[in-house]
Structure 1
Amino acid sequence: MTSSSALDTTDGRTTRWAGHRQRRRREFVDAALRAVAEHGPEVSVEQIADQAGVARTRLYKHFTDAADLHTAVADRVTELIHAELAPVWNPQGTPLQMIRAAIGAHIGWLSDHGNLHRYLTSHAATTQHGHSAVNGVKTAIAEHLTALFRTYSAGLRAETTAAEPLAFGIVGLVETSTTRWLESPAGMPRDELTDLLTDWVWRLLDDTLRSAGATLDPDQPVPTHPRP
């Protein structure tokens, strides 16, 4: 009969080995991110392996195939985007300040990590849950904005049925405009694009609220509780 101490030793080794494999897999994913940044969205598995300092065959000991690697990269990029977009998840200040901070963060990430964004798009990369990485992030932002709009609309006693289409429309506007700007800047500085989109988004929000019988001062903090 196997002793409990032998079982404990085996379980301990298994746990340590699993932890080692997980760390190595994470290191290879980070190497893939660096390779994408250096070589662009059409980066090859060989270039990723070179960046990691290992042979391609060694890389595949930690990933089933290229698709598994793309999925792991998509998961990691999604984590990074969520971390970078703190102004979206935790808005502070006046309406204009919140809008500008959120748009600035989004434009900033896309501008600073254009190759990663194009990599996800060109490979139609999916996360481990089987969802499109790019669409998943946009949906998460839009759903969060929907909840914010509903909360603030309640504070203004305004109708909230337009909250969801407004949120998804705003995310689409910012994403599409920024992606096009990255492909063809046409001499427009990033701050100017941020100001332009901030103005457009505020006009959309202001018009939607006015249609619901509410007004909002763009330079004053937003009420989050219904007025008495």
Structure 2
Amino acid sequence: MTRNIEHALRSTVAEPTKQDGRSARWEKHKQQRRTELTDGTIDAVRTLGPEVGMDEIAAHIGVSKTVLYRYFADKNDLGIATTVRFFETTLLPRLTEAITDDVDEYVLTRTVIGVYVNAVADEPNLYKFALAGSGTSAAATADSEKLVAQLLGTAIVMRMVERDADTSGAEVWAYALVGGIQRAVDWWMSSRSVPVADLIDYLTMMVWSSIVGIATVNGSKEAFTASPPPLPWVATDDTSGDDDDEMMEIVDDIGGDR
């Protein structure tokens, strides 16, 4: 199972290469040069910050800006390449190292979330530039979400096929979960209002609860719609209005944080 997951991860982040005869040699050189320049960009962002410009990136690498534009259409193109490279050099090695055994679904879920959160927490400048899209256009953000969603969708399908479950909604679930996680991490990276461990716990609660709900109906939207799981209700002592007062305090606290 671990080998299958690793293969899926590598397939997700692999960049396509052209194989068209005489141009193959140029394409190989171009990809190698793009990789070198992308690695230089990563170092520049780590050193100079996420708002670094093309002139500063070129100077840091030791090339002219013309060279950058020879291999990248614009800063957005460079940002997308940086996103892919971040997956190849940072996330992928950490994921394949963490997932070493045939672990159960809960451990797998928590491990993947923990690896992702810790990776971006360790690389705030690179995350803002390559993944959060602050240094590039919205296309880079969409591209990064697509990569993560493909990764997660592959893992979901693999596990659900083992259970003979309906996988029709896998792509929808993957994008919903990835979008929620990325938006939560975006918020957290700017505020850091809770410890890293707590963020991982809360995200695991959300994702695992979704997975359990889907697994309960074996992936069937018809079964879920026909009999949606009820919300558990905790019995309380109604002899006083303490519960209402506590609820109002919670609402006031949430409103005060805005």
Matched residue of 2:74: which SS? helix
2:41 pairs with 1:35: no
Is 1:199 aligned with 2:205? yes
Residues 49 and 143 (structure 1 numbering): CA distance in 2 closer, same or farther, change over 3 Å?
A: closer
Structure 2 residue 129 is the aligned partner of structure 1 residue 148: no
**Over aligned residues, Cα RMSD in angstroms?**
3.4
**Aligned residue in 1 for 2:117:** 107
TM-score, normalised by the number of residues in structure 1: 0.67
Can you list the C-alpha shifts for 1:86-111, whole angstroms capped at 9, x where unaligned? 33899541112111111112112222
Q: Give the direction of change, closer, same or farther, for the CA distance of 1:37–1:143 in structure 2 (3 Å limit).
A: same
- Secondary structure of 1:60's counterpart equals helix
Are 2:128 and 1:122 aligned?
A: no
Q: 1:133: which partner in 2?
A: 140
Overall identity of the aligned pairs, in %: 24
Which stretch shifts more, 85-94 or 36-45? 85-94
2: CA distance between counterparts of 1:25 and 1:210? 46
Structure with larger RCO (C-alpha < 8 A, sep 6+): 1
1:84 aligns with 2:90: yes
User: Is contact 2:45-2:129 (8 Å) kept?
Assistant: yes
- 8 A Cα contact 1:81 1:109, kept in partner: no
Do 1:149 and 1:163's aligned partners in 2 also have CA atoms closer than 8 Å? yes
Q: CA deviation at 1:135?
A: 1.9
Q: CA deviation at 1:25?
A: 5.6
Structure 2 residue aligned with 1:98, among 108, 133, 137?
108
Distance 1:61 1:117, change over 3 A: same
- 1:29/1:199 Cα in 2 relative to 1: closer, same or farther (>3 Å)? same
Q: Is contact 1:29-1:69 (8 Å) kept?
A: no
When the two structures are aligned, how many residues end up with a matched partner?
Answer: 189
- Which residue pairs with 1:129 in the alignment? none
Runs of at least 5 residues in structure 1 that lack an aligned partner in the other structure: 1-14, 127-131, 215-228
If the length of structure 2 is used for normalisation, what is the TM-score?
Answer: 0.60
Q: Which shows bigger deviation, 66-75 or 197-206?
A: 66-75
Matches within 5 A, 1:159-174: 159-174=166-181
Q: Distance in 1 between matches of 2:31 and 2:149?
A: 32
